[in-house]
């Protein structure tokens, strides 16, 4: 059951990222998020939300494959491959990225607490 729940949360997050849905992103991301971008930059929740709010990040395609979920009590680790297109700072991008996300169940529900992405384009 928890596996299916985390998979559904991942889909909610993917949809929120595609549509820059700030309300949904705010609800899914933990206040203390630490996320490592493909270039090594570490961002927190505020930076992530600000990038979507300002239009600095625009995602037009985010197609998942090869998703794996491991649930451990009140935590989960998710890896997923994403074929993505969009723009970052006005510069178009297209690529294949491997995401790792860490979810934690808190008193207010499940939230992304950390993760990273790496360029998996060949």
- Render pLDDT for 48-101 as a digit per residue (tens, 0 to 9): 999 999 999 999 999 999 999 999 999 999 999 999 999 988 999 999 999 999
pLDDT higher than 80, residue 122: no
| H helix or E strand, kind and range, residue 13 | helix 2-18
| pLDDT confidence of residue 121 | 84
Question: What would the pLDDT profile of 11-59 be if each residue is shown by its tens digit?
Answer: 999 999 999 999 999 999 999 999 999 899 999 999 999 999 999 999 9
| Domain total of the chain | 1
pLDDT higher than 90, residue 1: no
Domain enclosing residue 94, as ranges: 2-119
- State the Cα–Cα distance between residues 1 and 48, nearest whole angstrom: 29
- State the Cα–Cα distance between residues 86 and 6, nearest whole angstrom: 25
- State the Cα–Cα distance between residues 27 and 110, nearest whole angstrom: 9
Write the CATH number for 62: 3.10.450.50
Non-local CB neighbours of 114 within 8 Å, separated by 6+ positions: 33, 34, 35, 101, 102
| pLDDT confidence of residue 2 | 85
């Amino acid at each position: 059951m928890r596996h299916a729940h985390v998979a559904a949360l991942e889909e909610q997050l993917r949809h929120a990222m595609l549509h820059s849905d700030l309300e949904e992103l705010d609800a899914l991301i933990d206040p203390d998020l630490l996320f490592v971008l493909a270039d090594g930059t570490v961002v927190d929740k505020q930076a992530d939300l600000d990038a979507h709010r300002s239009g600095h990040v625009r995602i037009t395609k985010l197609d998942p494959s090869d998703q794996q979920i491991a649930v451990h009590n009140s935590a989960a680790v998710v890896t997923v491959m994403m074929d993505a297109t969009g723009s970052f700072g006005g510069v178009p991008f297209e690529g294949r990225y491997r995401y790792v996300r860490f979810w934690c169940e808190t008193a207010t529900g499940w939230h992304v607490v950390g993760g990273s992405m790496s360029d998996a384009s060949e």
